[in-house]
Copies of this chain bind each other. A is one copy, B any other.
């Protein structure tokens, strides 16, 4: 139950079986920092190449293939005032024949939205571009990209997500939640990064309010509890995460994983799980921008008692 303080000096743009930066035990906590999606740290300095550079990987002692890694997000705190994003909905989330009716920047240019993130008031205020109405929103800091090394020696870009987690951009992975990842390689190898001060459902602009963060998390190990897709829980809900394109397939993955969970751990046969799920299930659109989209299947804990 040690508390580690870890200051990253390098970052990874793929999630894979890279050399671990720290070995930790189940029950241990880590305080560390993440840079923003473009590789800029708390002082705004570019310390890594862009594309969701990751802090880690952390080797969890005793983690073996077939186990599940539990990561409790204790605290996610933006550590600077400057956040940025896109001032443009992504072209794939509107009707194709509506795309030409929207303003588009020149090829290769991203229209930048700049935000002032004030931790004392808990608010983010858009400072640029000029808008016809002021935009001031409450912050809800979250991790966009985190997960474990994938199976089969793959090294997967932090632009995307799969069964190992990755760039899920699901806005309910906030402090206070626990995320579960299948252990796919010895030691699990946990990575994290891509903090957002806030984000809408679906990350429809292709970004949240991107920002560097101080993060504290605590790991635990569920020996022999095998899962197929990332899962999560908070006080109100349990959930399963499907990462794939299109949304239909992401939904199929998440729903299948939830049925498996209900049948394995909640005393339900298939008929019970199916009948209950049909009338109580909820879904969140995690992201509809990244190479793999994310859909989340949720069941309220009060429906499971």
B95 and A269 contacting across the interface, CB-CB below 8 Å: no
Cα distance A93–B242 when bound, in Å? 12
A window 151-196: CB within 8 A of B: 152-157
User: Pick the contact of A99 from B86, B99, B268 — CB < 8 Å?
Assistant: B99
- From known contacts A96-B92, A99-B99, A200-B282, infer whether A272 and B85 are also in contact, taking CB-CB under 8 Å: no
Chain B nearest Cβ from A288, distance in angstroms:
6
CB-defined interface of A82-97 with B at 8 Å, one 1/0 digit per residue? 0001111111111111
Is A279 touching B199 in the complex (CB atoms < 8 A)?
yes
> Per a CB cutoff under 8 Å, which of B103, B124, B274 touches A87?
B274
B14 in contact with A153 (CB, 8 Å)? yes
Q: Do B133 and A267 touch across chains, with their CB atoms under 8 A apart? A: yes
The answer to whether A278 and B200 touch across the interface, beta carbons within 8 angstroms, is yes
Residue-wise, chain A 232-261 has the 8 Å CB interface mask toward B (1 for contact) of 000000000000111111011101100100
Q: Does A207 contact B (CB under 8 A)?
A: yes
Q: Give the distance in Å from the alpha carbon of A269 to the alpha carbon of B131 in the complex.
A: 7
A interface size (C-beta, 8 A): 89
What B residues does A198 contact at CB under 8 A?
A: 279
Report how far A244 CA is from B244 CA in the complex, Å. Answer: 10
Q: Are A152 and B14 in contact, CB atoms less than 8 angstroms apart? A: yes
Contact pick for A90, options B96, B207, B267, CB 8 Å? B96
Among B51, B154, B201, B275, contact of A131 (Cβ-Cβ < 8 Å): B275
Q: Is the CB of A91 within 8 A of B100?
A: yes
Residue numbers in B under 8 Å from A126 (CB-CB): 275
- Candidates B90, B99, B208, B277; contact of A204 at CB < 8 Å: B277
Tell me the residues in window 102-125 of chain A with beta carbons closer than 8 Å to chain B beta carbons: 102-104, 107, 111, 113, 124
Specify which chain B residues have a CB less than 8 angstroms from the CB of A96 in the assembled complex.
90-92, 96, 99, 252
Contact across chains for A282 and B201 when beta carbons are under 8 A apart: yes
Q: Could you mark each residue 263-303 of chain A with 1 if its beta carbon is under 8 Å from any beta carbon of chain B, else 0? A: 00011111110111111111111001000010100000001
Q: List 9 A-B contacts (CB under 8 A).
A: A90-B96, A91-B100, A92-B97, A95-B256, A133-B272, A200-B282, A204-B277, A205-B275, A251-B285
19 further interface pairs, Cβ-Cβ under 8 Å (given A92-B96, A135-B272)? A86-B275, A90-B96, A90-B97, A91-B99, A95-B256, A100-B104, A113-B278, A129-B271, A129-B275, A131-B269, A132-B268, A133-B272, A135-B276, A153-B155, A204-B278, A245-B249, A247-B247, A247-B248, A247-B251
